[in-house]
Structures are given as C-alpha cells and as structure tokens.
Structure 1
Amino acid sequence: MLRTILGVLAGLATMFLAIMGIEFLGHLLYPPPPGLDPMVPEQLQRLLAAQPPAALALVVLAWVAGAFLGGWVAARIAPAHPRLVAGLVALVVMAGVVGMIVQMPQHPRWMGVLGLLLPLPAAWLASTLARPRRRPPPA
C-alpha cells in the first residue's frame, strides 16, 4: 500500500515537472510578447489567438509526455498496480485539461480533444514499458 501511494506521489511530481519543463521550452521557442500580464484574461486570449499551431501542439505534447513519464515512474515504484497508478496520473492530467478548457474556452477544440484522449493511452503504454523484464534462467 505504501509503495502504491509513493508511486502515485512520485508519478505526480514527475508529471508536473515534465509538463512545466516542456511548457517552459515552449515559452523559449515561442516567447510571449513583452509586458503580457498573465492575470488579465483578455491579454491571454489575444496571446492564444496569435500563437502558431506548433506552439499549441507543444502544450498538448507536454500533457501527453507528462502522463507518460509520470505514469512510468508511478508504475516502476508500485509494480503491484502499474496500470492503476499510471491511470491516476493520467486522470490528473485530464483534470488539468478540463480546467484549462473551462477557464479559457478559446483554446482550439483539437487541443481539448487530444488532451482528453491521449493521456490514458500514454500512461497505459508507460505502465507496460515499466514492467521489470524477466531474465531467462541461466543455462
């Protein structure tokens, strides 16, 4: 039980760091205009409308990579329930996507659709890859 809880917590931390890191990279590649106040919704809406599709795709990539990496870490730490812990990490990513859609409905629909469809399969794949490999018995 303790490994399961630790796996989820470590997976969530990894997921958060992966998403933040990729989004930070996105801000380096596609910097916001100087003087942008992220606390003003109108300015964020204008920024969103001006972003190229590649910048928005990088956000979706961040969500999927966060679900994958966080799911992998969670499954490695909690091998008794790899799909469960990886799925919990993916569900947190999906909850964040829902929050983003509710907070700023101007995001393109494809971002929301991909953000809701891809994290679970990514986490499932990660949990499959995280399984320890069995070594053949010595000859």
Structure 2
Amino acid sequence: MKRVAIAIGAVLLAFFVLRSCGENPEKSARNTVKDFIENIRDGEGREAVKLLYPPFRDALVQDVKLPLQLTEMKPSEVLACILSSMGENIKRVRVLDTSRIDDKHAEVIVKVVDKEGVEKIFTFIVIKDEKKWRIASISGIR
C-alpha cells in the first residue's frame, strides 16, 4: 500500500512539474511578434507571412493593389515581397509590453525605430490557433 501511495505521489509531482513548465502565453506571443519582425528585417517575407493568422493575411492581401507586372504572382507572394521590402528601413525593435487577453489571445506592444530615427509604436494582437501563435491584427499607435 505504501508503494502505491509513493507511486501516486510521484505521478502527481511529475504532473505538476510538467504543468508548471508548460507554455507561457505571453512569452510565446512575444516570440511570434519578434520572429515576424526579424523575418521582415531579414527580407524573409515568405516566412513572415506564415506567422499571420489566415483571415488577417487574406484581409491584407485584399488591400494590396497589384501592379501589372505582379499579376502573375500569388497574392500571398506579393504580400511577402511587400513585407520583405519594408524591413530595409528598420533600425531597432523593442518589445514594450506583452499582456494576456485570454487563453487564446495576447497583446504585444512594440516600438520600431527606422533608419531616419523616427519611432513608431505598434500593437499586435496574437491569437493561438490549433498549432501555434499567429498575428491576427497590427495597428499603429503613433
């Protein structure tokens, strides 16, 4: 009987240790935003597009006005090109705050300084889908 109690105790201890080491939503959301910005800065627009929540990505694609020479490209490829070109102007990025909205949503506030020294603050709303955290909204504060 004593062995059973010890075994149950060990299982419960392992459960709580593993649970405490589980995913930190704020950290995961922050990392998604950091990866997105790093991909843009590095000219990796295709990788950045993969971090967008599909409905948000599709809405962005709808807003893209295609020049004639780009009409042969897929809309997501055009978006990737635009994101890649935006990264050339980024000098510094700093995450100012990350807060959990609920179990599946977080807000990440980021300050971006461009090469001309202009500071802009952006709010990213990040959502967790079935697999990972993705960016569902980006808005500028200043």
TM-score by length of 1: 0.30
Say which structure, 1 or 2, has more relative contact order (CA 8 Å, 6+ apart): 1
Larger proportion of strand = 2
User: Whose helix proportion is higher, 1 or 2?
Assistant: 1
What TM-score results when the alignment is normalised by the length of structure 2?
A: 0.30
